[in-house]
């Protein structure tokens, strides 16, 4: 059956998602049109196609065990010079994102994998383009802000055309058994800024 390349992420809702994707395209990032605006929970991961049912069951179980949490984006930062990425910062909800991605990548599950860099939630707005364009992205989006309640996550698959397509959405559970993910208003100040890969 071969392999497929999967990613799990939190979608940035409209109108913010389309706005940031258009800006990313405008900065000259050639991959922007094929990457929906998101916060990564599982970076691009190649799995056997036969394992897809197990992956979907695992993600459904993770989502069922979580409750919604608040998330806020504000301002920009960069991982340069260690990684050629400019991003919009997650200033509230970072701990919730971190806890969620740990569950998605649980060692006992089908999405288990090590990360190239320590996890640091962010929204990429420029990746691997020339320095002047990266500087523009960091400056021009410095005033960007958005906030919403995260109510679930989504599974994406990368096509042969390098476009990431939504495969399935996983809403969080709302029952008494659901677990509230960590939340703190000033989480950005607590997080170090390690280098991070991006997609």
Work out the average pLDDT over 105-113: 94
29-88: per-residue pLDDT in tens?
999 999 999 999 999 999 999 999 999 999 999 999 999 999 999 999 999 999 999 999
Give, in degrees to the nearest 5, the angle at Cα 177 between 175 and 183: 90
Pairwise CA distance, residues 52 & 50, whole Å? 6
110-125: per-residue pLDDT in tens?
999 999 889 999 999 9
Domains assigned to the chain: 3-174 (3.90.1140.10)
Pairwise CA distance, residues 195 & 198, whole Å? 10
Q: 34: helix, coil or strand? A: helix
**Tokens 């200033």, located at residue:** 91
> 50 exposed, middle or buried (CB, 10 Å; 0-12, 13-18, 19+)?
exposed
Task: Report pLDDT for 117.
Answer: 87
127-180: per-residue pLDDT in tens?
999 999 999 999 999 999 999 999 999 999 999 999 999 999 999 996 545 566
Which pTM does this prediction carry?
A: 0.88
Tokens of 83: 């990684």
Task: Report pLDDT for 187.
Answer: 41
Tokens of 190: 């607590």
Query: Cα-flanking dihedrals φ and ψ of residue 117, to 5°?
Result: -130, 160
């Amino acid at each position: 059956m071969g392999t497929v390349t999967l990613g799990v992420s939190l979608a940035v809702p409209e109108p913010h998602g389309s706005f940031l994707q258009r800006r990313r395209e405008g900065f000259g990032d050639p991959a922007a049109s094929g990457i929906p605006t998101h916060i990564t929970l599982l970076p691009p991961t190649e799995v056997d196609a036969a394992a897809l049912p197990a992956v979907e069951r695992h993600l459904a179980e993770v989502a069922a065990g979580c409750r919604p949490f608040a998330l806020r984006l504000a301002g920009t930062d960069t991982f340069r010079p260690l990684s050629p990425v400019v991003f919009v910062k997650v200033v509230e909800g970072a701990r919730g994102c971190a806890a969620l991605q740990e569950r998605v990548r649980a060692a006992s599950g089908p999405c288990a994998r090590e990360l190239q860099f320590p996890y640091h939630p962010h929204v990429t707005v420029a990746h691997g383009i020339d320095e002047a364009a990266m500087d523009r992205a960091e400056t021009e989006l410095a005033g960007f802000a958005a906030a919403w309640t995260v109510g679930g996550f989504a599974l994406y698959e990368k096509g042969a055309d390098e476009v990431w397509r939504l495969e399935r959405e996983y809403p969080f559970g709302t029952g008494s058994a659901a677990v509230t993910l960590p939340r703190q208003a000033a989480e950005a100040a607590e997080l170090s800024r390690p280098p991070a890969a991006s997609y």
